[in-house]
Each structure stands twice: as C-alpha cells, then as structure tokens.
C-alpha cells in the first residue's frame, strides 16, 4: 500500500461550511416557509461586464477558424494580458514592474497555495489570525507545522493576531519569520494596511531576509486614499514581496478563473551559500506544472483593463459597496461594534452580549432568518466575531439588516 502524505491527517475537516449547511438544513426542516437571506456568501453574484462577455465571444470565434485558432499558450500568459496588467495595475500607479515579473494564472487561491513549494520545508511561516484559511492549510500539507493543538493553533506557526486593539492589522512579530502571508484588504475582517503599517512589514522583511506573500484579492474595493493598492507602493518592497491578485472579486471571475502573481526580479532566496532569484524558480515551477490560462479567458481578462470594461466593473463594485454601506449604517444605529466594510466587501461584527460566533449564527438564523459566517471558521481569534458579506442583492441586504435590528 502506498504511504500517504501524513501531514494531511493534521488538518481538521472543512468543518465550517459543512456545519453551516447542516444547521441551515435543520432549520429549514422545522420552518419550511421561512424566507432565509444569506449574507454569508463569499462569492460574487452579479454577472460579467458586457465588455468582458463581448471579448469572450470574439475569442471563441477566433478559436473556430484555423487561421486564428490557438493551442497551448505561453505558461506565463499572453503578452497582450501581461502588458495590460503592467500598464493598468502598476504603471498607472507609478510602479515599475516588467512583463517577465508577472505570471498569469487561473486564480489567487492556486497561486497562494502553490507558492510555498519553492521554499524550504524548514522555513518559519507567519500567518494572520483570523484569515482566509488557504495560507495555513497549504503549509500544514507541506509539513511546515507540528500538530493542531487543543487551543486551535498549529505548533510551529507564528500567528499574527488581529484584534480590535490593532484594528485587525497586526504588525511584525518579535521572532524571525521566513515566509509571511498578508491579506489586505483582509478576508474576513475587511481591514486594510495603511502605507505606514505596510512599510513596517517591508522593513521587517528586508532586515530579516524574509519574503512577504501579499494577497490583495480585494484591492479593487479600496476606497480610502491612504490605503496602498499594491505592496510595491512601499519603497524596497520589490526586494521583499510577492504580490498575488485575482479578477475573481474585481470583475466577477470566480467561475471564469483568472489572476496573476508578481515575482520581482530583485527578489532573492538562499540555497546554502548561493543567492537564487525567486522569479526563476516560479517560472520553472509554472512551466512544469501549469499549462497557462485559456486564450478565451485571457481575452476576457484583457477587456477588464479596457476603458469600457473598467467603467462597467466599477459599477458592480459600487453596487456591492453600497450594500456594505447599508450594512454598516444599519448596525451603527444598533449597539453593535463592527469593523471593515469601507475598503472591502466584508463586515466583521463583534458578537454582542458575550455570544460565541456560533451562538450568534444560531441567533440570527432563528430570530432573523439571516445566515452569516461564524468568525471561528477563520482562526481562533475570530471566535467572538461574525462575518457578513456585501455580495448579496441590494433589496435583500436591506431587508436582512432590518430583521437583524429587530432581533436584538
């Protein structure tokens, strides 16, 4: 019998969404006529922008003719999309990134999960708590942790605790981390690093020769002027950080699948005494294990950067952020403490009356017929918090907030 990768056995089951489903199903069984509204969705709901769909149709037609058909494309992405990314996301902000530093991918989850394999097993890893679970789980799978402890933490991981005191923007730890995952704007807290806070991280990484893996999947939702859209807005960050972006939340590509990872040429790792470019390693990894994103998808992604596309996706983001505003202003009238909702489509509620996040879940389901996500699912520090999302329908979101208001 083949021995398995026993690190997988260290992972707890994906308990969160299974448990949510189970509790909702039980409730429905007892209350078949209840009109349940979900503010728990971590997925977009609005359709693709017309400019994007048009580009997809045109690309599909090209694939139908021998003269314009395309087979395998470059693993790193087509030039037209690399150029659009460099120009639209970097040059436009005064950041110099070259096309050979960008790697088009099928999304941020894959990249953020795969990137750890170019680093040594012995690297000390720092992850925020609470955060998107992929950073931690993929390092557990790779054997960079010990066992899961009773308190919910893995042995051997440096946790960066987000609390109300630090506004859910933890600073660098006292110990040395080799790999640091940062998520800004953050899922689930909605918090985003300011330039000053991010500079502390870049300085720390340069001093300790660590690498920051910067997930900015929600960059397009930033509204405040002092919040950096890219970590490369911080001087020296090209020697300290890999940046991962996605069109999933930016342009509704959760089902289409396209994102990218920037690995600057200046970013160096060590192999014994030698200095190695991480860009070379990631290129080697992608060329071997990845076949690139489909031509049709990359054409769709290119359209996101067109003038028309930009205007259309902005309307959709504004729609979601109006929901966020409705949620925040609704709660401001209640005595509920909340965070986020300004630079991200997530609202992070402190549970009232000493409720645990699961008690809050049960309360909202029973009393308001509203489903959200218990903070405990994003890490132990989330146990007294609750996540609501702005990805729903505007009318239903309003209704949900009125119902929540009446439930307390």
Ligand X SMILES: *Cc1c(COP(=O)(O)O)cnc(C)c1O
Q: Of the ranges 78-86, 103-111, 266-274, 291-299, which one interacts with ligand X (CB under 6 A)?
A: 103-111
Whole-number Cα distances in Å, 102 to 25, 124, 245? 44, 26, 10
Q: Of the ranges 9-17, 104-112, 265-273, 307-315, which one interacts with ligand X (CB under 6 A)?
A: 104-112
What is the end-to-end Cα distance of the chain in Å, rounded? 56
Give CA–CA dist 267/303, Å, rounded: 30
Size of the site for ligand X (CB under 6 A): 13
Per rule CB under 6 A, is residue 261 in the interface with ligand X?
no
Per rule CB under 6 A, is residue 248 in the interface with ligand X?
yes
Omega prior to 130 cis, within 30 of 0: yes
Check: CB of residue 340 under 8 Å from CB of residue 325.
Answer: no
Nearest residue (beta carbon) to ligand X:
107
Q: Which is nearer to ligand X, 373 or 397 (CB)?
A: 373
Give CA–CA dist 299/312, Å, rounded: 16
Q: Say which DSSP state 12 is in.
A: P
Q: Which is nearer to ligand X, 390 or 404 (CB)?
A: 390
Give CA–CA dist 147/343, Å, rounded: 35
Choosing from 109, 229, 369, 387, the residue that interacts with ligand X (CB under 6 A) is 109
Q: Which is nearer to ligand X, 114 or 194 (CB)?
A: 114
**Residue that the structure tokens 């405040």 belong to:** 224
Q: Which is nearer to ligand X, 257 or 369 (CB)?
A: 257
Q: Of the ranges 105-113, 153-161, 318-326, 399-407, which one interacts with ligand X (CB under 6 A)?
A: 105-113
Q: Of the ranges 13-21, 169-177, 244-252, 385-393, which one interacts with ligand X (CB under 6 A)?
A: 244-252
Per rule CB under 6 A, is residue 135 in the interface with ligand X?
no
Q: Which is nearer to ligand X, 246 or 357 (CB)?
A: 246
With CA atoms as reference, report the closest residue to 170 among 159, 179, 161. Answer: 161
Containing 261, the helix (H) or strand (E) segment is: strand 259-262
What residues form DSSP beta bridges with 377? none
Dihedral sign for Cα 252, 254, 255, 256, please.
positive
Per rule CB under 6 A, is residue 254 in the interface with ligand X?
yes
Q: Where are the beta strands (DSSP E) in 187-335?
A: 211-215, 241-246, 259-262, 268-271, 274-277
Choosing from 37, 84, 102, 183, the residue that interacts with ligand X (CB under 6 A) is 183
Q: How far is the CB of 293 from ligand X (least distance, A)?
A: 11
Q: How far is the CB of 135 from ligand X (least distance, A)?
A: 9
Per rule CB under 6 A, is residue 108 in the interface with ligand X?
yes
Give CA–CA dist 104/291, Å, rounded: 11
Choosing from 215, 219, 243, 302, the residue that interacts with ligand X (CB under 6 A) is 215
Q: Which is nearer to ligand X, 160 or 368 (CB)?
A: 160
Give CA–CA dist 181/266, Å, rounded: 19
Choosing from 119, 132, 154, 339, the residue that interacts with ligand X (CB under 6 A) is 132
Give CA–CA dist 324/344, Å, rounded: 8
Per rule CB under 6 A, is residue 187 in the interface with ligand X?
yes
Containing 242, the helix (H) or strand (E) segment is: strand 241-246
Per rule CB under 6 A, is residue 340 in the interface with ligand X?
no
Check: CB of residue 348 under 8 Å from CB of residue 168.
Answer: yes
Per rule CB under 6 A, is residue 259 in the interface with ligand X?
yes
Choosing from 191, 211, 217, 342, the residue that interacts with ligand X (CB under 6 A) is 217
Q: Which is nearer to ligand X, 215 or 302 (CB)?
A: 215
Indicate the pairing of strand 385-389 with strand 346-350. antiparallel
Choosing from 138, 210, 246, 323, the residue that interacts with ligand X (CB under 6 A) is 246
Neighbouring C-beta atoms of residue 21, cutoff 10 Å:
11
Q: Of the ranges 31-39, 157-165, 242-250, 275-283, which one interacts with ligand X (CB under 6 A)?
A: 242-250
Residue 136-175 contact track with ligand X, rule CB under 6 A, x = bound: ----------------------------------------
Q: How far is the CB of 43 from ligand X (least distance, A)?
A: 8
Give CA–CA dist 318/324, Å, rounded: 10
Per rule CB under 6 A, is residue 185 in the interface with ligand X?
no
What residues form DSSP beta bridges with 245? 260
Q: Which is nearer to ligand X, 299 or 363 (CB)?
A: 299
Give CA–CA dist 184/206, Å, rounded: 19
Angle between helices 50-63 and 295-304 (to 10 degrees): 150
Q: Which residues bind ligand X (CB under 6 A)?
A: 107-109, 132, 183, 187, 215, 217, 246, 248-249, 254, 259
């Amino acid at each position: 019998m083949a021995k398995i990768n026993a690190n997988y056995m260290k992972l707890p089951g994906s308990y969160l969404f299974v448990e949510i489903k189970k509790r909702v199903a039980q409730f429905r069984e007892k209350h078949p006529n209840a009109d349940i509204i979900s503010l728990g969705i971590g997925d977009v709901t609005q359709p693709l922008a017309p400019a994007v769909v048009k580009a997809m149709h045109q690309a599909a037609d090209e694939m139908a003719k021998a003269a314009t058909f395309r087979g395998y494309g470059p693993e790193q992405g087509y030039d037209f999309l690399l150029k659009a990314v460099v120009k639209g996301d970097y040059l436009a902000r005064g950041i110099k990134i070259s096309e050979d530093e960008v790697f088009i991918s099928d999304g941020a989850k894959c990249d953020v999960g795969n990137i750890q394999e170019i680093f040594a097993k012995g690297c000390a890893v720092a992850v925020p708590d609470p955060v998107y679970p992929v950073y931690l789980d993929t390092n557990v799978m790779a054997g960079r942790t010990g066992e899961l402890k009773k308190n919910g933490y893995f042995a051997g991981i440096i946790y960066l605790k987000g609390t109300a005191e630090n506004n859910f923007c933890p600073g660098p730890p006292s110990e040395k981390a080799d790999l640091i995952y940062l998520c800004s704007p953050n899922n689930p807290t909605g918090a985003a690093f300011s330039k000053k806070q991010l500079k502390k991280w870049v300085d720390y990484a340069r001093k300790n020769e660590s690498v920051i893996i910067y997930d900015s999947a929600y960059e397009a939702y930033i509204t405040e002027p002092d919040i950096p859209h890219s970590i490369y807005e911080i001087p020296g960050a090209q020697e300290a950080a890999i940046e991962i972006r996605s069109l999933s939340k930016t342009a509704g590509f959760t089902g289409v699948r396209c994102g990218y990872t920037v690995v600057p040429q200046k970013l160096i790792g060590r192999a014994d005494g030698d200095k190695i470019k991480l860009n070379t390693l990631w290129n080697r990894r992608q060329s071997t294990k990845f076949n690139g994103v489909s031509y049709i998808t990359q054409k769709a992604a290119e359209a996101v950067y067109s003038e028309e596309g930009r205007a259309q996706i902005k309307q959709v983001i504004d729609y979601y952020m109006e929901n966020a505003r409705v949620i925040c202003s609704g709660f401001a009238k209640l005595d509920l403490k909340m965070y986020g909702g300004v630079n991200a489509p997530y609202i992070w509620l402190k549970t009232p009356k000493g409720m645990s996040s699961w008690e809050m879940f049960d309360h909202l389901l029973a009393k308001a017929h509203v489903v959200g996500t218990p903070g405990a699912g994003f890490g132990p520090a989330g146990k007294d918090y609750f996540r609501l999302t702005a990805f729903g329908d505007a009318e239903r979101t309003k209704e949900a907030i009125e119902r929540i208001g009446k439930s307390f």
